A and B are shown apart, each in its own frame.
Chain A
Amino acid sequence: MFNEDLRKNWLDILKFNSKVSIIENPRKLDEKVRIPLTPIQIDAFLLYNLFAVLYPRFINQQQNILDIIVSDFDIDNIVFGVYLYKTNKPGVHETVEILPNDLVGIKQENLSDIKEIFNKFQSMILKDHGVKINSIRLIKKRGLDLINSHYGKISNSTNSDIFRSFLDLMQISLNGNLLAMYPEPYILKFLRNNITLLEGIKLSSIFAFIEDLIPSFNVLVTMASNQLSFGVILKKVESKTINSDIEVKLLPIEREDYDLNSYRLLTDIKKAQQTFMVDNVFNINLNGILKFLSELFENEIPLHKEILRLLFQKFLYGIRRYDLHWSMYPKPKVFNTLIRFLIRLIGIDLNLKKLSHWAIPDYIFGLFDTFAGLNARILLIITSNKTTHDITNQTPITILLEIENGSLTKVKNIIEKEILSGIDQKSLDSIRFAYSERFGFITNIIILDKILIKTILNTFIFKFHKISLFSILKVLKMLKKPQIFQIYPEIPPYSHLKRKNSFFFMKDLLKIAIDRHNF
């Protein structure tokens, strides 16, 4: 029933986990396993710690888990397999016990009441084995087949292909209810509801799109907290001859080698950069990230605009807490006091440590609600032609965003080309009308070129350490070029940007984005 590689790797993980509690220093075991469903080799003890920290936080805090494999067809008893994991530590799977399939008989019609299934199994296993299970994972046979098929690709595919396959597996499983859990964790509900917002958009296509946009990089992301410290090396290698690929390595950050300050950040990130031979190191406080994600997953989808505002505020707060919640090497130029002082002389205050996290979301949401409306349909056309927006000469990506009461309720990929047949495709009027006839009134069309997205990603993420007035000005100037960015009809903030000198526009923006009082 299980792919042999999958089974062997999983049993290796269980074997290692069961040794941890009886060995004095499990770190020294130096065993390698693969992260389930991925080709990523990882230190077994790090995986143990990841499970111990992340599983209780995001999936279930209680001990003892039961996996049930069920048929997709309606037969007398649809149970194909029952696997009991007794866990001493929540989330850390140590042993597996195969229970008889007829322990509790299930029919297709029972699947709608997973709580009832849980209760029956819980009482039966408590009676027969004296173990109280606290959660069940119900996997349909088709889901298992998909996992097996995914595993088959691991040995002969690139990391990017495998990641795309994993995203497809996740999307199909969640859309088709091939995986269910009781009690249902917030993360599962969050992912499922998010996926239902996407209409005709595959997660793997989003990944492929982003992968195509991002430049070559070689970064180390270190995350540390009291319970867990690890690093992720992410490397994208681009080549003209072969397809690009992303390498991912997870490694433990040993406390003996790196000191952590009181904010749980590495004190010497330069050393980490040299040791791991990477271009940049992002050093992040893991507790902050986990807390943010926990709060994010607890929300209903679509996110209510007030929740979105709050999450945005928290995100900006995280950014402004440089040296407290995160840091990076090489240190971004804008955090250099002398450079900031010199910029200040020309009336520009670019102090990201004083980002107005408390005011920016209110202002942006206020402007958006006012000018786009509380209900809106926005057509996003992403082109890749550097010279013209003539849509006939290229295959743009066309996405329809539907907003209701200020919340994003649908993201739809439009593939029907016939919508534009017989109309003047250079006229945004005609394009808007054609799409409005098909999907309802299109409030605005936004056309942007991939080069703009690339520049934004470079400026604000991959070359963040080099961010300066000039790089921000470059983005603003690109926004003014109709061959790179257009909004139709033009909303007042965009008309204002086009009319005003970029430097003075940026100055005004920074007054809104940065706190006035530096001390």
Chain B
Amino acid sequence: MIENSKVNSTDVAIIKNDSPTKAISNGIELLGGISRFIGKEDSVFIKINLRAPSGFPVNVSMDSLRNLIILCKKAGAKEIYVGGFPENGVKTSTLSSILGLKSYLENLGAELISLDDQVTSSFSIVDVNGKNIEYPTRVLESDKLIILNQVSVDPLFKCTLSILNYYSLVSSKSQKIEKIIRSGKDYLLLDQYKQDLISNILDVFSIKKPCLVINDMFYFLEGAGPFIFKDSSIIRTGLVVSGSDAVAVDLITLKLLKIDLLSSEILLEARNRKLGITNVSEINLKGESLDANKLIVNFSVYKLNEITINNTYLQEGRICSGCFKEAYYLLNFMKTHMTKDLKYIRKQSILIGENPPEPDTVENVIVFGDCALKSTKNRDFRYIQVPKKDSTIKTVRGKIKKDNSSQNKPIMKEKVNKSIIEIPGCPPDMYMSLNTLVKYYGKTKAPNLSFYNALLNQFVFKESEKSIKKKGVNSDV
């Protein structure tokens, strides 16, 4: 691991203040001042949350970022780069134009780096534990790496830790977890997806150690997060945790949220790999008391059926964390943006995971993810019984003869159920799922979704139009 800090890595500062910018400055001051992290003529890369074209707190607080840039400039930094890969394949340039980031950062004396722009950004292949990881050369070559992380609730890891933030230094493509079934191991039972994800996150994290890590939880998004949904809500905690050891900073952040190390699989694995300090007694806490500032927050739901949506019935089979996360986003999206559509749709069932129970109705069945698709291939809901229509001549003849027998006993015919929406993927992509739903329901049944999808088309689909069959109904990912 490449080290780049002069500061004692056991120091972690907890700061509480009325101003978010002062909280960050005071934290750095308590750790010895910015000059202990940044030297004269250093080139600095600040990794921020740059998730989606959305407002705060989906992305980092711009006031905090501004403050940090000014501090770096004061310390004599020669170049300050800011960046990170947005989620779901959204381009940094698109996100920048929607948020007006590039010019704002330029005015501050920093540069927004589009890591996804192949013309301006190059990647170095770094070998970690036998894996070749495409890592941005700019970050590798920067003298100092700082992580400015906005802390919110997270469906998989309870909250968005700095180590998770770090992971988006590699592209969405590199972040994708391939489904590799090990012999003799149950992929779903062991939640191999999450294990592989944690392993990948820590592999990436182990490439270059940040010199300064700031977990900005001054405003904390609770409820449904880390994106903004109907059940999301911001609480003002006034707290910022900073230090030079990301693992220690994350551990203290979790402690503030009353989460124990043993409940955090990612920090446990970091402990196994000795990637940082995971023992609180070894951490030199500065500033506010840890015990006196513990917070009570609403974390995101642990079970999908706790997300109650109008007219929607969820049937959950055995599920991995990948499908859980994407389904969590999809369900929260439906709850937030599809109020009207759900009323018009009247009834829809969502089947998720391996071997989900039969849907309540054969109409509007959404089969979500490869596991659900494969395990329900020959299920009853795939076929429907419809009365076979007699030929007109036969019907008329029957009426002339006053023969009611044909009416009493309609002949039933089995047909393929076309009211099924198949969303493949392991796990399926959120934006593609929405596109598939729009194609199926159409503007009349889903006006809200259709309008929203048109907005998404501006920055998501225009770059990667995929063929989607109408009615029938599936999407190719």
Report yes or no: A363 in contact with B337, Cβ–Cβ below 8 A: yes
- B-facing mask of A354-376, CB < 8 A → 1, else 0? 00101100110011011111111
Of residues 346 through 401 on chain A, the ones whose CB sits less than 8 Å from some CB of chain B are: 356, 358-359, 362-363, 366-367, 369-376
B430 at the binding interface (Cβ < 8 Å): no
A436-B104, A508-B447 known; A492 and B53 CB under 8 Å?
yes
B99's contact among A404, A489, A509, by CB below 8 Å, is which? A489
B57 at the binding interface (Cβ < 8 Å): yes
Q: Which of A376, A406, A492, A493 has the most CB of B within 10 A?
A: A492
Residues on B with beta carbons closer than 8 Å to the beta carbon of A441 = 61-63, 66, 104
A359-B339, A405-B233 known; A373 and B228 CB under 8 Å?
yes
Of residues 32 through 74 on chain B, the ones whose CB sits less than 8 Å from some CB of chain A are: 53-58, 61-63, 66
A333 at the binding interface (Cβ < 8 Å): no
Of residues 481 through 495 on chain A, the ones whose CB sits less than 8 Å from some CB of chain B are: 488-493, 495
B221 at the binding interface (Cβ < 8 Å): yes
Give the docked Cα–Cα distance between A489 and B62 (Å).
Answer: 14
Report yes or no: B448 in contact with A375, Cβ–Cβ below 8 A: no
A356-B340, A516-B344 known; A374 and B455 CB under 8 Å?
no
Closest B-chain residue to A443, C-beta based? B55
Give the docked Cα–Cα distance between A430 and B104 (Å).
Answer: 9
Chain B residues touching A, majority SS: helix
A496 at the binding interface (Cβ < 8 Å): yes
What's the least CB distance linking B176 to chain A, in Å?
25
B444 at the binding interface (Cβ < 8 Å): yes
Report yes or no: A373 in contact with B58, Cβ–Cβ below 8 A: yes
Give the docked Cα–Cα distance between A432 and B343 (Å).
Answer: 41
Residues on B with beta carbons closer than 8 Å to the beta carbon of A405 = 233-235
A429 at the binding interface (Cβ < 8 Å): yes
Report yes or no: B230 in contact with A374, Cβ–Cβ below 8 A: no
Of residues 234 through 286 on chain A, the ones whose CB sits less than 8 Å from some CB of chain B are: none
What's the least CB distance linking A401 to chain B, in Å?
13
B100 at the binding interface (Cβ < 8 Å): yes
- A-facing mask of B190-231, CB < 8 A → 1, else 0? 000000000000000000000000000001010000011010
Residues on A with beta carbons closer than 8 Å to the beta carbon of B444 = 511, 516
Q: On chain A, which size bracket covers the interface?
A: 35 or more
What's the least CB distance linking B52 to chain A, in Å?
9
Report yes or no: B98 in contact with A489, Cβ–Cβ below 8 A: yes
Give the docked Cα–Cα distance between A359 and B455 (Å).
Answer: 19
Residues on A with beta carbons closer than 8 Å to the beta carbon of B451 = 508-509, 511-512
B289 at the binding interface (Cβ < 8 Å): no
A374's contact among B62, B97, B234, by CB below 8 Å, is which? B234
Closest B-chain residue to A507, C-beta based? B443
Give the docked Cα–Cα distance between A496 and B62 (Å).
Answer: 26
Residues on A with beta carbons closer than 8 Å to the beta carbon of B290 = none
B124 at the binding interface (Cβ < 8 Å): no
Of residues 32 through 79 on chain A, the ones whose CB sits less than 8 Å from some CB of chain B are: none
Give the docked Cα–Cα distance between A386 and B80 (Å).
Answer: 42
Residues on A with beta carbons closer than 8 Å to the beta carbon of B63 = 440-441
A363-B340, A373-B56, A490-B98 known; A433 and B443 CB under 8 Å?
no
Closest B-chain residue to A440, C-beta based? B63
Report yes or no: A512 in contact with B447, Cβ–Cβ below 8 A: yes
Report yes or no: B448 in contact with A512, Cβ–Cβ below 8 A: yes
Of residues 467 through 519 on chain A, the ones whose CB sits less than 8 Å from some CB of chain B are: 488-493, 495-496, 499-500, 508-509, 511-512, 516
Give the docked Cα–Cα distance between A429 and B108 (Å).
Answer: 12
Residues on A with beta carbons closer than 8 Å to the beta carbon of B61 = 375, 441
- Number of B residues near A (Cβ < 8 Å) is 45
B100's contact among A359, A432, A493, by CB below 8 Å, is which? A432
A404's contact among B103, B234, B443, by CB below 8 Å, is which? B234
Give the docked Cα–Cα distance between A496 and B455 (Å).
Answer: 6
A370-B228, A489-B97, A492-B458 known; A432 and B55 CB under 8 Å?
no
Residues on B with beta carbons closer than 8 Å to the beta carbon of A432 = 100, 104
Closest B-chain residue to A375, C-beta based? B56
What's the least CB distance linking A118 to chain B, in Å?
35
What's the least CB distance linking B260 to chain A, in Å?
29
Residues on B with beta carbons closer than 8 Å to the beta carbon of A512 = 340, 447-448, 451
Of residues 227 through 258 on chain B, the ones whose CB sits less than 8 Å from some CB of chain A are: 227-228, 230, 232-236
What's the least CB distance linking A168 to chain B, in Å?
32
Report yes or no: B221 in contact with A374, Cβ–Cβ below 8 A: yes
Report yes or no: A511 in contact with B336, Cβ–Cβ below 8 A: no
What's the least CB distance linking A439 to chain B, in Å?
10
Report yes or no: B55 in contact with A488, Cβ–Cβ below 8 A: no
What's the least CB distance linking B15 to chain A, in Å?
19
Report yes or no: A374 in contact with B56, Cβ–Cβ below 8 A: yes
What's the least CB distance linking A502 to chain B, in Å?
15
Report yes or no: B55 in contact with A371, Cβ–Cβ below 8 A: yes
Report yes or no: A433 in contact with B107, Cβ–Cβ below 8 A: yes
Closest A-chain residue to B336, C-beta based? A366
Give the docked Cα–Cα distance between A500 and B452 (Å).
Answer: 14
Residues on A with beta carbons closer than 8 Å to the beta carbon of B459 = 492
B454 at the binding interface (Cβ < 8 Å): yes
A441-B66, A490-B98 known; A496 and B454 CB under 8 Å?
yes
Residues on B with beta carbons closer than 8 Å to the beta carbon of A495 = 458
Report yes or no: B55 in contact with A373, Cβ–Cβ below 8 A: yes
Closest A-chain residue to B101, C-beta based? A489
B162 at the binding interface (Cβ < 8 Å): no
Closest A-chain residue to B443, C-beta based? A511
- B-facing mask of A389-425, CB < 8 A → 1, else 0? 0000000000000001110000000000000000000
Give the docked Cα–Cα distance between A429 and B221 (Å).
Answer: 29
Give the docked Cα–Cα distance between A376 and B230 (Å).
Answer: 17
B160 at the binding interface (Cβ < 8 Å): no
Give the docked Cα–Cα distance between A488 and B451 (Å).
Answer: 21
Report yes or no: A433 in contact with B228, Cβ–Cβ below 8 A: no
A429-B103, A489-B97, A493-B455 known; A362 and B339 CB under 8 Å?
yes
Closest B-chain residue to A362, C-beta based? B339
Residues on B with beta carbons closer than 8 Å to the beta carbon of A508 = 443, 447, 450-451, 454
23 contacts between A and B (CB under 8 A): A369-B228, A370-B336, A371-B55, A373-B58, A373-B228, A374-B234, A375-B57, A375-B219, A404-B236, A429-B103, A430-B107, A433-B103, A433-B104, A433-B107, A436-B66, A436-B104, A490-B97, A492-B53, A492-B98, A492-B459, A496-B455, A512-B447, A512-B448
Rank and list the top 9 A-B pairs by shortest CB-CB distance, nearest first: A373-B55, A489-B100, A441-B62, A511-B447, A359-B340, A373-B56, A405-B234, A492-B455, A362-B339
**Residues of A in contact with B (beta carbons under 8 Å apart):** 356, 358-359, 362-363, 366-367, 369-376, 404-406, 429-430, 432-433, 436, 440-441, 443, 488-493, 495-496, 499-500, 508-509, 511-512, 516
